[in-house]
Amino acid sequence: MRDLIIVGAGPSGLTAALYALRSGNKVTLIEQGAPGGQLLKTEKIDNYPGFANGILGMELATNMFQQISSYSNLELETQTVISIKKETDKVVVATGNGNAIEGHSLVLAMGGNPRLLDIPGEVEYTGKGVSYCAICDGFFFKDKITTVIGGGDTAFEDALYLAKISKEVHLIHRRDTFRASKILTEQLKNHNNIQLHLNYTPKAILGDTKVEKIEIESTSGESNKTIETNGVFVAIGQKMNTDFLNNQIPLNKDGRIIVNHKMATEIQGIFACGDIIAKSLYQVSTAVGDGAVAGQEAVYYIENK
Ligand code: NAP
């Protein structure tokens, strides 16, 4: 039996692990991909305190993971979680390889997956021009034309990143105001190779063997447009990765886990942190902050059992 099981090795899960490991707990950290979460999809983070000149997402992820990897009381499982079950005095976490890992306490930090546009051509051209990660795939579009969908921080960061690689970037957003921060909005508007298409929503992605065009539909009564493009980067938010919870833990209307100020869910011994929880600010700094609280509160819970 482990002391603490953590699902998800993004910044919040890695921080929760750090706090529990430093208290001498036996921790199993389950992650289906590489440790780092959304950090791996971010080129540079300019608003993480302590790094006046910013820090690369990959570098911060590597540093965070290195900080916990030397603890002998850590077990890392590269697996997908398929279910959890709370029993009287333990939590059982089932993984895709048929294992059932038992722990005194559980921290949920699995974040989300990119939300899909759900339009013709999206699935067909995924990997053939349609991508959900500019940092991962941007290089394939060197000196080509790329198109980003969305009006949030992710879409703006993606457009700014692609503007350094592609010869031309189109940004399509369904409104004329943005969720993206003011600072990113200013940077984007000042870029001469980024063209904005506001009040438009994607209708279909077209091509032959690869993406060639995107059709966009006006949301303000203007005529529809077709844009020639080699790549379409979808950045319209995330769908939370909560299916395996099977309605055992209350979620808010956006599908995020409801926690109290101790990051505790309604189920005793189960905590949550990072993008998966309902909160007001989604940043690396807040993920790290609530990861620390979740990890430490799990430690208190284990000690008091
Ligand atoms: P987001 O803030 O939820 O923005 C999603 C964008 O996609 C919105 O502009 C939304 O339009 C648009 N959208 C949603 N569904 C759509 C659809 N079906 N068709 C067309 N457009 C659609 O998501 P995000 O940008 O991934 O950011 C998630 C969170 O992480 C945010 O809290 C953000 O601040 C944070 N974040 C922060 C940083 C940073 O600080 N550097 C970087 C990345 C992310 P509407 O606006 O019309 O709804």
Distance 111 CA to ligand 1 centre (A): 14
How high is the pLDDT of residue 29? 98
- Domain extents for the chain? 2-113+238-304, 116-234
> Which is nearest to 274 in space by CA: 2, 5, 16?
16
Phi, psi torsion values for 63, nearest 5 degrees:
-60, -45
Residue nearest to atom 29 of ligand 1 (CA): 282
Q: Two tokens at 7?
A: 């699902």
CB 178 within 8 A of CB 151: yes
Query: % helix / strand / coil in the chain, to the nearest 5?
Result: 30, 30, 40
- Within a 10 A sphere around the Cβ of 16, how many other Cβ atoms? 37
Check if 2-113+238-304 and 116-234 are the same fold: yes
Distance CA(227)–CA(21), nearest Å, equals 52
How high is the pLDDT of residue 202? 98
Tell me which residues of the chain have a pLDDT lower than 70: none
CB 284 within 8 A of CB 48: yes
Tell me which fold the domain 2-113+238-304 belongs to.
Answer: FAD/NAD(P)-binding domain (3.50.50)
> Which is nearest to 273 in space by CA: 94, 45, 56, 20?
20
For the domain spanning 116-234, the CATH number is: 3.50.50.60
What are the pLDDT digits (tens) for 46-56? 999 999 999 99
Distance 115 CA to ligand 1 centre (A): 10
Q: Is the CB of 150 under 6 A from ligand 1?
A: yes
Q: Is the CB of 197 under 6 A from ligand 1?
A: no
Phi, psi torsion values for 189, nearest 5 degrees:
-65, -25
Does this model's pTM top 0.75? My answer is yes
Is 133 a catalytic site residue?
A: yes
Catalytic, out of 136, 176, 243, 254: 136
CB 80 within 8 A of CB 96: yes
How high is the pLDDT of residue 305? 87
Task: Detail the DSSP E strand segments found in the chain.
Answer: 2-7, 27-31, 44-45, 55-56, 74-78, 81-87, 90-95, 100-108, 112-114, 130-131, 145-149, 168-173, 194-198, 200-207, 211-218, 225-228, 231-234, 238-240, 270-272
Distance CA(198)–CA(70), nearest Å, equals 49
How high is the pLDDT of residue 269? 97
